[in-house]
Amino acid sequence: MAEVFTLLLMAGMLMCGLLLHTVSQHGASVDELSKKPNFIIILADDIGWGDLDANQPEQKVNNTPYLNLMAEQGLRLTDFHSPASTCSPSRAAILTGRYGLRNGVTHNFAVGSVAGLPLSEVTLPQLLQKAGYYTAMIGKWHLGHNGPYNPTYRVTSKHYKVYIPARKNEMATWTLKQRGQPYLLYIALAHMHVPLAPPLPPDASATARRPGDCQVYAASLREMDGLVGAVKRASDDADKGNTLIWFTGDNGPWEQKCQYAGSVGPFMGKWQTSRGGGSAKQTTWEGGHRVPTVAYWPGRIPANTTSSALLSGMDIFPTLLSLAGVTPPSERRYDGIDATDILLRGEHVGHEFLFHPNSGAAGKFGDLQTIRTGTHKAFYITGKLGAAEACGGATGRQQLHDPPLIFNLDRDRAEETPLEVGTPEYQVVAERIARRREELLWDIATDKSVSTADYSTEQSAVPCCDPTQPVCRCYTLG
Ligand SMILES: [Ca+2]
């Protein structure tokens, strides 16, 4: 396998973006390696579950035709969750297969952060490199940019190049030379995070060009979808049948950005919104972490299929390793599950329990105070602290719940009316989740592989200050 393929991606997607690539050393023969599948992970930023047309066909919008096609030719996962509700902890959990309480990344790193994802953590690309994979990354890292925390050390290891596109609306072209190796390409899009700067047609009305118009978000979504389509075409042309593309999001829409935020679909978190405060990014309401997800692998993943298996971005780690025939290091504990049977064989059994960590809206960062099991979901804490706001600036108040609030998403996707405490349904779920939560917390407390992240900041750590570039802003630490 020595194909060379060219990816054409618009530079506008790469706000302060990087392309990093490497050739790893490996001992496996070319024949052995040629049997291993290629992987492309496409991670959208702040995208809403409802932004994928295929999730809401009754809306009759046409903003994601390429993703819709990928879903028609692959598998749409409707109950798939980002591992956290903000950028850094979600990305850390995807790359390590572990909750933030284990990998140390429980909230966002700042522009002046001196460190990042703890060096004691082992990433998916690092493990695939050891198995002979060629690994590359395009886009947003947000897990540390200084010294050894730079992605060149966490995603790639030896020979690498960095490309920073000149400015938006120019086309960036590059080639990925596979050199007889299977590859992992991690594309972390800047879309749909603000600022949004989509190209509008020359004949667009003055209204459409005015900041604040809702067409800006839709145009950005179509731009992102076109990028996904370009990647799919390039992949199909290069090695159709041997490449898995996994599209998902890092967290839900940034609701306080109003018309520049995506759609949560029917997952409106009404219990919270009726009390003030939002229910999307930063929160553990469904809108904060249920993300649009499509897995595409022609010939391997059955076409036009849907699964409501309860899954997480943490599952990408064990699933790709399993498909590559790689066993992760046994001295550390993991939280993701191998979803191979769900992807390839139509199984529908996902997590029996899935925890959603606090991501800034309430409680201590990283604490596991929201739990899914089956169609039930329990909250030990709700509310909003810090910067989490609804559109318009409303914030709720933090509330502890003992006994927990429990919703049945099968009957109440909008999380509006909790079950009555004392009903048999409530009691059964409450006992199960309390027991499982204790077990997990004990498991983490006794996990010798737990890492601690350094969140300190320094002015000297701030990179990329160029006031003439809209994508390269200057910061002064407050
Ligand atoms: Ca994000």
Within a domain: 369: no
Tell me, yes or no, whether 368 lies in a domain.
Answer: no
283 CA distance to ligand 1 centroid (A)? 12
Each residue of 434-453: pLDDT tens digit?
A: 999 999 999 999 999 999 99
Active-site annotation holder among 26, 107, 142, 191: 142
The CA R_g of the chain, rounded to the nearest whole Å, is 21
Q: Give 340-367 pLDDT, tens digit per residue.
A: 999 999 999 999 999 999 998 889 999 9
Among 16, 21, 81, 87, the one annotated catalytic: 87
Ligand 1 mean position to 454 CA, how many Å? 20
- Number of helices and strands in the chain (H, E): 13, 16
pLDDT in the model for residue 177? 47
Classify the C-alpha dihedral 104-108-112-117 as positive or negative.
positive
| Integer angstrom CA distances of residue 47 from 145, 171, 192, 248 | 24, 23, 6, 9
Predicted TM-score (pTM) of the model is: 0.89
Please tell me the predicted confidence (pLDDT) of residue 365. 95
Is 64 part of a structural domain of the chain?
yes
Percent of the chain with pLDDT over 70: 81
CA of 372 to the centre of ligand 1 (A): 21
The pLDDT-based confidence of 212 (bands split at 50, 70, 90) is: low
How many folded domains does the chain comprise?
A: 1
CA of 87 relative to ligand 1 center, distance in Å: 4
| CA–CA distance, 405 with 418 (Å, rounded to integer) | 6
Domain-located, residue 16: yes
Q: Which amino acid is at 187?
A: I
The parent domain of residue 9 ranges over 4-199+214-352+450-461
Is 142 an active-site residue? yes
Confidence of residue 20 (pLDDT cuts 50, 70, 90): very low
Assign residue 241 the CATH number of its domain. 3.40.720.10
* pLDDT tops 80 at residue 335: yes
Q: Does any domain span residue 126? A: yes
Question: Is residue 401 a part of any domain in this protein?
Answer: no
Name the pLDDT band for 293 (thresholds 50, 70, 90).
very high
Minimum mean pLDDT range among 62-66, 232-236, 353-357: 232-236
Catalytic residue flag (residue 356): no
